[in-house]
Structures are given as C-alpha cells and as structure tokens.
Amino acid sequence: MVLPGGSVKTFLLTSTYVEIYLPDGRNVKAFAHPFLSGVLMNLLPRRGLRINPRSTALSLAIVMIGAAGAFASPAQAAGQLYYVSPSGNDGAAGTQSAPWASIAHAQAVAQPGDTVYFRGGTYAYVRANSSCTSQTARVDAITLNKSGTSGSPIRYWAYPGERPVFDFSGVRDDCRIKGFDVTGSYLHLKGLEVTGVRQNNDLNHESWGIWISGNNNVFELINTHHHMGPGLFISGGAANLVLNSDSHDNFDSRSSNGAGESADGFGSHYTPAGQAPNVFRGCRAWWNSDDGFDLIHTYSSVIIENSWAWRNGYIPGTTTSSGNGNGFKMGGFGGAYDAGAVKHTVRFSVAFGNKAAGFYSNHHPVANDYFNNTGFGNHPSFDMLGVDSNGAAVGRGNLRNNIAYTGTLTSNMTGTSSAYNSWDLGIALSDSQFQSVSTSGWDAPRQADGSLPGLPHLRLAASSTMIDKGTNVGLPYTGAAPDLGAFETATSTASQRYEAETAPATCHGTIDSNYAGFSGSGFCNGSNAVGAYAQFAVNASATGTATLTIGFANGSTAGRSVNLSVNGSTITTVVFEPTGSWAAWLTKTLTVPLTSGGNTVRLDPTTAAGLPNVDYLDVRPA
C-alpha cells in the first residue's frame, strides 16, 4: 500500500481474506476473498482509496488518496487490532509499533470481535499463574477464560508470516501443568506453536499442552509438541473445531500409571450428552508415546476427518515400545459397557506404522462409522473390539470403502457391519495399486492455505482396481462410485448435490415435504430465530474456489438475510429474495474457497425471521 508521503505499508492476501495495514499500524480490514472484487471496487473508492488496475491474484496494490483515518469506520466494524511481541511491554499501547508483552494483558483488554496478533519469536514461561496447593494439584501457565460471542470471536492469531512459540519448558511448578487452559468460548487460536510442558514429579498421570473445557472454539494451524502429556486435550468442551493442526513428539516419561501411557496427540473426553460434536479436520498426530487420537470417556459424538496418524506408541523418534500405540482410538469406557455411549465417526483418514491398531473401537459399546479410510502397516489396521450390554467382547463398527494393506489387516470383525472394503471385495493388493507406499515425508510443510501436503503416498494409481469400487455412504465422490481409501482420485467439473434433509447435513428446524417442487425427499424448514442454521459437510478433491448453488424458497414478503460461512469464517451475507410462494423454488449462486478434503458450509440467519426453506446445496469446482 502506498501512502501519503511515500510511505509503504504491507498487506496480506490469503485464500479467504485480505488484510490492509494502515499507517498507524492499528487498523486492518479483512475482506472475504470470493467477493474481493465487489467489495474492493465499490467500497474502497468511497473511502478514498483507489485500486491499482495491475492487481493480480497474488498481488494487490492500493493507493491511498484520502486521509489516514479514512478507513476508520470499516476497521471499527471488524473489531480492534492489538499486537503482542516477545520484546513488548504491557504498559505500551498494544499497537503494531508499541506492542504488549503478554497474552494475559491482551486478554484483559480484548473484547468480542477483536484480534490479537502475536509477533514471531519465543514467549518463554518460567512459572504458572497460581501456586500448587499440593503435588497433585493443577495449575495453568496461561488461562484463557474471557469469551467471545457467536459471530464475534476473540482471535489470538500469529502475525502473518511469523511463528510465535509458547515455550513452557521452564515452568517447574511441582504439580500438574496446563500450558494453555482454555475455559472460554468463541475463541479462535491460529498459527501458534506450543511446546515443552513438563511433569515435575512422579505422582500424576500427565500434564497437558493445551486443555480445552470451553465451547465453540477454533484451534487452527496449531503446532503442539514435546509435552510430557497430550498435545491438545478437550475435557468437557463441545462444538470445538481443531483445524489443520499438528501434535507430535509427546512423551510422559514420569506418569504414575507408567511411562508413555498418557501422552496422546489429540484427545476429546468427558463431553456431556446431547452436545454438538467436537471436530478434528486436517490434523496430523505422530511420534506420540500413547495414541494419535483418543476419544475415551465422552458422551457426545466426535468427528475426525481428513486426518493422519502414524508411528504412535513408541518413545518419540525410536522404535522403543511405550504406550498403547493406536492411530485412532475411537471411544470406549475403560472396557466396561456404558448405555450412554454414542457413535463417533472417522473418515477420509490415514493410519500407518502405529505400534497397535490403526483404527480401534477400544471396547466401545456402539458401532462407530469408519468410512473411506486407509490403514497401512498397523497391527492390525482395523480392530473393531467392542463390548455388549453383558460385558462380553463383540465386534462393533460400520465399515465401508476402507483399505487395509500390509501388517495385520483386521481383527474382532464378528458382529460388525463390513462391506465394500478391500478385504470384503477380495481385491489383490500390491504396491502397484498405489502411486507410492512411502512412509517418509508425511510431516512435510503444509500447503499455503494450511491444508495437508499434497503427497502421492497411499493415493491410488490411475490403474488401481480400487477406483470406483466403493458404495455411496452419503459423502461426496466423483466417478461411478466412491473409490476405496482416504483419497478420491477422480476429478470432475460436474456438480455434487448435498440434500438438506440428508445427513451429515444438519437443520436447526424441521425436515418438511409439504411444498411441492423440492429435490430429494424434503427440505430444511429452519426455526424462525437467529442461530437456527442449516449446515452442509462438503468434500473437495482439491484446494481452490468452488461455485455453490443453493436451492431455496421464500414465501414471505421480505428478503431473508443469511451469513454464509466456510470452515467457521464468514464469507458473505446473502439476501434470499421472496420467491412468490413456498412452493416456488429458486437458486442462489456464489463462489467460495474450499480446502482439499472436508469443509463445513453454514447458512446462518441474521434476523429472527430465520432462513428461507433450504432444499439443497450444489458444489462445482469453479
């Protein structure tokens, strides 16, 4: 950005927003990328800004021809911006040129809708924020207990292009330690590295890198590692999204229940019944001494998708046996039957080289869904050990479109619902079925948008006999039928339809069929309330833009205003105009960014009038 007097400021253009840094460093406005052209070309000239016509998809020049404060109103609408730096001072103003020093001070000031940027460098901690009352007590180094609100989270983000590291290795309090203790809700942590939480005695099971008991939070691009306990541990919280995050090299060498028995990569536990699911999407867990993902003791569903787990169950970086060693441990209650058990889901995910099972039911009392996963070189890849109401061992699981190759393939399958998997179809597996079977490079840097690296490993070769050999389980696919395994190989410019009445779509209202002309078996009649949203789970074969077409009817006399969000970020506000009657169906078309793999598209009404009736969502690569 070229400013009066010849000064130059930077900007950031990502797949979802552009951030414009004004002269005083305080005001940044974020615009959703799919409608950048409309917003920038129309709004900015009215604010005294002129677009440089030489802008491209990767560069944007904006010349300010008005006063430095000309952009104040949009910046205020987006919330305040604050800055924290390892060399900052909590007595400073919290601006880009005078940053604060601590997240604690930033939290004391920040309000819903505000963003706190953390500059790169190490934030080293040497003590907890309270004293140990006993050697088995729990203390926090950082407590995040102030909440945002729905639509206005408090954001704690890495400054673009920089890496803030929260190092807790110097905390020597003689009890159990939580690096981050997130009790607040509607928070968004992004781009933070968290490391080094210790166990300082032998009287406890584990400490924790990040502990979460709040709800409706987003943890994005988190790198949590080298803790003496789990990297990220949800305890009682609900509706949290862990997105494109890594947890690795965790080892609890001083646990009272045995060295290495408690350091999972990710965990979701103790959430009460009836809550919205916690979701892990695009995550990786490796070299954790216990399990990669662990869902033991929880009473609301958990969804894991497009995630990878490998080499868990060993002392990190070695082949020395340590904890349980499952890639995905999908529930259980300590081996006992529990009537409150609920179904969990793992899909489009990969487990390889784990000491024990790649995908493990862990005595879960009900059948989980295992759809489109790949197990390679585990022991076994799919262990469906469940428990019935009499406490007897029995197979539990719904398995479709999975691959198990090398190592031990399956165990405890009696009693499961298993079909259209590589072992059911009698397909002769060999390395030639895949583009690569390499187990190296899975920890490669993520793509620019944060999604998993685009590796050829365990993706089907063009000649594979596992292409189009699956069955439709209500998830997106291309070709005549779903492929087997975690990666859909075919690409297509054809649209994929998602019906509003068909799971995993959700409707906060009722599924009705009383107005003719709809697609499928019904439509979503949302409740007349703010927050009564419709949501679709959308799978994309590649990262990029996609065209959404929404089928709707609005028999009222006024337009209905709706926020459209993708993966938790609001993209635009859409007004669904009256269609003349509830039986008159129209479409609304928009362009949005999608990441490779699973995506969540939500339609959220902004007024008490609620949504129009929503029939379907068509998705087509742009």
- Give the C-alpha separation, 182 to 192, whole Å: 14
Whether 476 shows a pLDDT value over 60: the answer reads yes
Q: What is the CATH number of the domain that holds 558?
A: 2.60.120.260
Lowest mean pLDDT among 63-72, 122-131, 328-337: 63-72
User: Which of 39, 54, 44 lies closest to 22 in space, CA to CA?
Assistant: 44
User: Which residues in 547-578 are b (16+ Cβ under 10 Å) and which e?
Assistant: ebebbbbbeeeeebebbbbbbbbebbebebeb
At residue 492 the predicted structure's pLDDT band, cuts being 50, 70 and 90, is low
> Six-digit token pair at 153?
């989270």
Whole-angstrom Cα distance, residue 424 to residue 427? 8
- Copy the structure tokens of residue 365: 């009392």
In a domain, 363, yes or no: no
Confidence of residue 407 (pLDDT cuts 50, 70, 90): very high
pLDDT at 109 over 80: yes
pLDDT at 619 over 60: yes
User: Annotated catalytic, 190?
Assistant: no
For position 56, what pLDDT does the model report? 30
Identify the band that residue 41 occupies on the pLDDT scale cut at 50, 70 and 90.
very low
Q: Is residue 515 in a domain?
A: yes
pLDDT for the residue 63: 26
Handedness of CA 362, 264, 158, 73 (dihedral sign): positive
Q: Minimal CA–CA distance to 84: which of 53, 51, 56, 109?
A: 109
* Greater pLDDT, 380 or 21: 380
The per-residue pLDDT for range 295-354, each reduced to its tens digit, is: 999 999 999 999 999 999 999 999 999 999 999 999 999 999 999 999 999 999 999 999
Q: Write down the pLDDT at residue 43.
A: 35
| Euclidean distance between CA atoms 291 and 268, whole angstroms | 12
CA distance 24 to 309: 45
Q: Could you tell me which residues are beta bridge partners of residue 30?
A: 19
Position 360, amino acid: Y
Note the pLDDT of residue 504: 87
pLDDT at 542: 79
Q: Which whole-number Å values give the CA distances from 163 to 94, 170, 379, 443, in the listed order?
A: 19, 19, 37, 17
68: exposed, middle or buried (C-beta count within 10 Å: 0-12, 13-18, 19+)? middle
> Which letter does DSSP use for residue 497 in this model?
E
Question: Which residue in 29, 178, 190, 329 is the catalytic one?
Answer: 329
What local confidence, expressed as pLDDT, does residue 540 receive?
A: 86
Q: Look at 170-184, 211-225, 518-532 and tell me which has the smallest mean pLDDT.
A: 518-532
| φ, ψ of residue 529 in degrees (nearest 5) | -165, 150
| pLDDT for residue 439 | 96
Strand positions, DSSP E, 287-364: 293-294, 302-305, 308-310, 328-329, 345-347, 350-352, 359-360
**Does residue 482 fall inside a structural domain?**
no
pLDDT in tens, 381-393: 999 999 999 999 9
Mean pLDDT across the stretch 613-617? Answer: 95
Q: What percent of the chain has pLDDT over 90?
A: 79
Average pLDDT for 446-459: 93
Confidence of residue 491 (pLDDT cuts 50, 70, 90): low
In a domain, 426, yes or no: no
**Running DSSP on this structure, what letter comes out for residue 6?**
G
d(CA 172, CA 180): 15
Tokens of 241: 């999204």
Q: In this structure, what DSSP letter does residue 460 have?
A: B
Say whether pLDDT at 25 is over 70: no
Comparison of pLDDT for 449 and 118, the residue scoring more: 118
Let me know if residue 564 belongs to a domain: yes
Q: Are strands 232-235 and 187-190 parallel, antiparallel or unpaired?
A: unpaired
14-42 mean pLDDT: 35
- CB-side neighbour CA atoms (13 Å) of 574: 26
User: Looking at 30-39, 243-252, 288-297, which range is the least confident one?
Assistant: 30-39
Pair 245, 283: CB distance under 8 Å: yes
- Answer whether residue 345 is part of any domain: no
pLDDT, tens digit (0-9, with 9 covering 90-100), for 341-370: 999 999 999 999 999 999 999 999 999 999
Statement: residue 84 has pLDDT above 50: yes
Determine the 3-state secondary structure of 536 from DSSP.
strand
Please give the average per-residue pLDDT across 519-547, as a whole number: 90
Residue 63 bridge partners (DSSP): 2, 50
Q: Which of 56, 77, 98 is the last residue of a domain?
A: 77
Name the pLDDT band for 5 (thresholds 50, 70, 90).
very low
Which pair of structure tokens corresponds to residue 455? 């590796």
Residue 394: inside a domain: no
Decide which of 77, 94, 120 is a domain's last residue.
77
Domain range enclosing 579: 496-621
Domain-ending residue, one of 20, 53, 77: 77
Please name the residues in contact with 53: beta carbons below 8 A apart, sequence gap of 6 or more: none
Contact in structure between 330 and 346 (CB atoms under 8 Å): yes
Give me the pLDDT at residue 603, please.
96
Reply yes or no on whether the pLDDT at 572 is more than 50.
yes
Strand-pairing partners, residue 212, are 182, 234
* DSSP notation for 21-75: E-TTS--EEEEEGGGHHHHHHHHHHHTTEEE-TT--SS---EEE-S-GGGGHHHH
The DSSP string of 204-251 is SS--EEEEE--SS-EEES-EEES-SS-SEEEES--S-EEES-EEE---
46 pLDDT tier (thresholds 50, 70, 90): very low
In contact, 166 and 197? CB cutoff 8 Å: no
**564 and 572 Cβ atoms separated by less than 8 Å:** yes
In this model, does residue 437 exceed pLDDT 70?
yes
What is the separation, in whole angstroms, between the first and last Cα of the chain?
29
Residue 107: in which H helix or E strand, if any? helix 103-109
Specify the pLDDT at position 27. Answer: 34
Average pLDDT over residues 35-45: 34
Kindly state whether residue 467 falls inside one of the protein's structural domains: no
| Count: domains in the chain | 2
CA distances from 498 to 480, 537, 599 (A): 17, 8, 13
Q: Give yes or no for residue 39 having a pLDDT over 80.
A: no
pLDDT digits (tens, 9 = 90+) for 162-178: 999 999 999 999 999 99
Kindly report the average pLDDT of the chain as a whole number: 87
When pLDDT is cut at 50, 70 and 90, the band that residue 78 belongs to is: low
